[in-house]
C-alpha cells in the first residue's frame, strides 16, 4: 500500500449532543475538525492539535478524550458531547456556573476544554484534596494561568454533589 | 496528512490477513493498526507515519481484563490505560502497573491509549518527530543529529552510535518488572513473547523497535500470578509534577523476609532505549539487608554500563537516586 493523496470518504452515524446524524467525511478528518468545520460546533477549540493542551476535550460515550487525536471514522455509532451540549447561557451546567463564580478563566480559549475535563472528572476516581484535582486536570493547559480559580471552581461543584 | 484506506475488519483473523500484506511492521509500515490513536495519529500529522492502510481494531473483542488459568491476569489489547490502572485486581495485586500508568500522559489520553498501543509507543526524540531532520530511526542511514544535538531527554543505557532515542513508556517499565508476556496472533499462528524479548536495542537498525512482523496483531498481555506479599513502587522523576515524560523512573517489585530482600524485580524508565529491566540490580539486592547501602549498591549496579551524552550526564546520578528512593519507599 503506497500513501496517496486522493481523498477517501466514509459515511458514519454519530450522536452529537443528543442529535443523531449521518455524515460523510474524508477519512483523515479528526473528530475535532468534524465538530468545528462540519458541524459548526466551534465551542471546542483547537490548540496544539497533538493531544498536548486539552483545549479540544470532549466526551465520547461519557468519557473525556482529546478530539484532535482521534479520527471521526473511529466513532461510528458513538455519542459525543461538546460544551454546547452541556448547558445554555440561560441554563448553565453547575460547572459552567462555578467557572463564572470563581473567575476560572481569563482569555477563555482553554475554558471549554477545562470544563469538559472537569465535568468528566466528577465521575472518575479522584481524591478529595486540591492536589488530586490538579493531577487529574494536568492535561488541560491554561496559558493565562487561571489554575487556582479552576481548582476552586471544581472543588465547589464536588462539594455540592 | 496523507490519505489512507480505513478498514474495519470483521474479526482478528481478517485484521491479521490485511496487515500481513504490509512490507514491514516497523518504521515506514504501509499498514498500521489503530486503537487509541494517540501515538499513530500524532505521527501521521507530522508525516513521520504515512500508512496507506489503517486497520481499526477498536471493535474487535480484545477489550477484556480476565483472570488467567494459571492464576495470573489476562489483559486485552484494546483495554484503555485508565481502565487497566483502575481495575481492582491490578490495584490490589499489580499496583506497580497502576502507579506507572497513572503517572503517564493525561486523563484524556489514558482514556484513549490502549495496552497494545502503549507497548509500541514511539520515542519522543525531537529529531525522530521532525521530518526536516536526519534520523536513523525514521530514515535509516541519514545519521543521528541527537548525538551532537538536543539529547537532554535521551537514553544513557542501550544506546548505539546510530540511535540514542529513549523508550517513553511508563506502562512497559512496570510490565518489565512484572515479567509480562505479550501474545501475538500472526499469519502463521499465535505466539507468546516475554516482554524482555519484545523490544529491540537500536544497534545498527534503530528503525526496528520490536520483534513484530507484518500481520502480527497483539491480542493480549498476560501477567504471572501475583507474588504474595510483594511490595510494589513506581517512582517517576520529571521536569514537571504531572503530564511529562520521565527523566528517570523505577519500577520495583520486592519481597522481604527477616529484614532481607528475598526476591527483587527492577526496571528503569526514561533512561533506556527500551524498557530497562536490570538483572544486575536484582542480583545485587537479593540476600541483602534492607538498608541504604544495599539500595545504593543496587543502583550502582543498574547504572554501571550507562553512557552519558553531551546534555544528559545528570541522568546517571538521577536514575541511581530514583531507584534508591523507590527501594526505600517499597520497604518503608
Is residue B295 within 8 A of residue B252, CB to CB? The reply is no
Nearest to A6 among B3, B54, B86 (CB): B3
Residue B252, beta-bridge partner list: B233, B266
Which residues constitute the domain of residue B246?
A: 231-331
Asked if the structure places residue A1 within a domain, the reply is no
Chain B residues with CB-CB distance to A27 below 8 A? 3-6, 54
If asked whether residues A98 and A75 sit together in one domain, one would say no
One digit per residue, pLDDT tens: chain B, 332 residues? 999 999 999 999 999 999 999 999 999 999 999 999 999 999 999 999 999 999 999 999 999 999 999 999 999 999 999 999 999 999 999 999 999 999 999 999 999 999 999 999 999 999 999 999 999 999 999 999 999 999 999 999 999 999 999 999 999 999 999 999 999 999 999 999 999 999 999 999 999 999 999 999 999 999 999 999 999 999 999 999 999 999 999 999 999 999 999 999 999 999 999 999 999 999 999 999 999 999 999 999 999 999 999 999 999 999 999 999 999 999 99
Which residues constitute the domain of residue A54?
A: 9-85
DSSP B17-80: HHHTTSS-SSTT-SEEEESS-TTHHHHHHTTS---SEEEE-TTSS---EEE-TTSSEEEETT-B
If asked whether residues A75 and A22 sit together in one domain, one would say yes
C-alpha cell belonging to residue A139: 492535561
pLDDT in tens, B130-181: 999 999 999 999 999 999 999 999 999 999 999 999 999 999 999 999 999 9
Taking the CA of residue B88 and the nearest CA in chain A, the distance in Å comes to: 12
| C-alpha distances in Å from residue A122, one per residue of A78, A126, A133 | 21, 8, 10
Contact A3/B4, CB-based, under 8 Å? Answer: yes
Asked if the structure places residue A115 within a domain, the reply is yes
Kindly tell me the sign of the dihedral angle through the C-alpha atoms of B312, B194, B36, A66: negative
Asked if the structure places residue B93 within a domain, the reply is no
Question: What's the farthest any 2 CA atoms get from each other in chain A?
Answer: 56
| CATH number for A133 | 1.10.150.120
If asked whether residues A99 and A80 sit together in one domain, one would say no
Number of domains in chain B: 1
Element (H, E) at A158: helix A147-159
pTM of the predicted model, to two decimals?
Answer: 0.97
CA angle B117, B137, B125 (to 5 degrees): 70
What number is the ipTM of this complex? 0.96
If asked whether residues A107 and A75 sit together in one domain, one would say no
Contact A3/B111, CB-based, under 8 Å? Answer: no
Asked if the structure places residue A3 within a domain, the reply is no
Residue A22, beta-bridge partner list: A13
DSSP state of A118: H
Question: In this structure, are strands B189-194 and B217-223 parallel, antiparallel, or unpaired?
Answer: unpaired
Element (H, E) at B196: helix B195-198
Taking the CA of residue B169 and the nearest CA in chain A, the distance in Å comes to: 16
Amino acid at each position: 500500500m503506497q500513501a496517496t493523496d486522493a481523498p477517501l470518504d466514509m459515511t458514519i452515524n454519530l450522536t452529537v449532543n443528543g442529535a443523531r446524524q449521518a455524515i460523510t467525511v474524508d477519512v483523515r478528518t479528526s473528530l475535532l475538525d468534524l465538530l468545528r468545520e462540519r458541524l459548526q460546533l466551534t465551542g471546542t477549540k483547537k490548540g496544539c492539535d497533538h493531544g498536548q493542551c486539552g483545549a479540544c476535550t470532549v466526551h465520547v460515550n461519557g468519557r473525556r478524550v482529546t478530539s484532535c487525536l482521534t479520527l471521526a471514522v473511529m466513532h461510528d455509532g458513538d455519542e459525543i458531547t461538546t460544551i454546547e451540549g452541556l448547558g445554555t447561557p440561560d441554563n448553565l451546567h453547575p460547572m459552567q456556573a462555578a467557572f463564572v463564580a470563581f473567575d476560572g478563566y481569563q482569555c477563555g480559549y482553554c475554558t471549554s476544554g477545562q470544563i469538559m475535563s472537569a465535568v468528566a472528572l466528577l465521575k472518575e476516581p479522584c481524591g478529595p484534596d486540591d492536589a488530586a484535582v490538579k493531577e487529574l486536570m494536568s492535561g488541560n493547559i491554561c496559558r493565562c494561568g487561571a489554575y487556582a480559580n479552576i481548582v476552586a471552581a471544581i472543588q465547589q461543584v464536588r462539594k455540592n454533589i | 496528512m496523507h490519505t489512507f484506506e480505513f478498514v474495519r475488519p470483521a474479526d482478528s483473523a481478517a485484521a491479521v490477513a490485511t496487515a500481513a500484506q504490509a512490507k514491514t511492521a516497523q518504521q515506514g509500515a504501509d499498514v498500521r493498526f489503530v486503537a487509541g490513536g494517540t501515538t499513530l495519529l500524532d505521527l501521521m500529522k507530522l508525516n513521520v507515519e504515512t500508512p496507506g492502510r489503517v486497520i481499526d481494531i477498536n471493535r474487535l473483542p480484545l477489550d477484556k481484563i480476565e483472570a488467567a488459568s494459571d492464576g495470573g491476569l489476562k489483559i486485552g489489547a484494546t483495554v484503555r490505560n485508565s481502565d487497566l490502572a483502575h481495575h481492582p485486581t491490578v490495584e490490589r495485586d499489580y499496583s506497580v502497573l497502576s502507579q506507572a500508568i497513572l503517572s503517564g500522559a493525561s486523563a484524556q489520553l489514558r482514556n484513549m491509549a490502549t495496552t497494545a498501543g502503549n507497548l509500541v509507543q514511539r520515542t519522543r526524540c525531537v529529531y525522530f518527530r521532525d521530518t526536516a531532520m536526519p534520523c536513523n530511526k525514521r530514515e535509516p542511514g541519514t545519521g543521528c543529529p541527537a548525538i551532537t544535538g538536543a539529547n537532554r531527554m535521551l537514553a544513557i543505557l542501550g544506546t548505539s552510535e546510530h540511535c540514542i532515542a529513549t523508550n517513553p513508556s511508563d506502562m512497559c517499565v512496570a510490565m518489565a518488572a512484572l515479567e509480562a508476556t505479550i501474545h501475538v496472533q500472526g499469519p502463521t499462528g499465535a505466539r507468546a513473547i516475554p516482554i524482555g524479548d519484545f523490544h529491540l536495542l537500536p544497534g545498527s537498525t534503530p528503525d526496528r523497535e520490536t520483534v513484530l512482523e507484518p500481520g502480527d496483531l497483539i491480542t493480549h498481555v498476560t501477567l504471572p500470578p501475583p507474588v504474595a506479599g510483594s511490595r510494589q513502587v513506581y517512582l517517576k522523576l520529571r521536569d514537571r509534577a504531572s503530564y511529562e515524560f520521565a527523566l528517570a523512573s523505577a519500577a520495583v517489585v520486592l519481597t522481604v523476609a527477616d529484614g532481607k530482600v528475598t526476591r527483587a524485580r527492577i526496571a528503569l524508565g526514561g533512561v533506556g532505549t527500551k524498557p530497562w529491566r536490570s538483572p544486575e540490580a536484582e542480583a545485587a539486592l537479593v540476600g541483602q539487608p534492607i538498608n541504604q547501602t544495599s539500595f545504593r549498591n543496587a543502583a550502582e549496579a543498574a547504572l554501571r554500563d550507562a553512557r552519558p551524552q553531551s546534555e544528559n550526564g545528570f541522568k546517571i546520578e538521577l536514575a541511581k537516586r530514583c531507584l534508591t528512593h523507590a527501594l526505600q519507599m517499597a520497604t518503608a
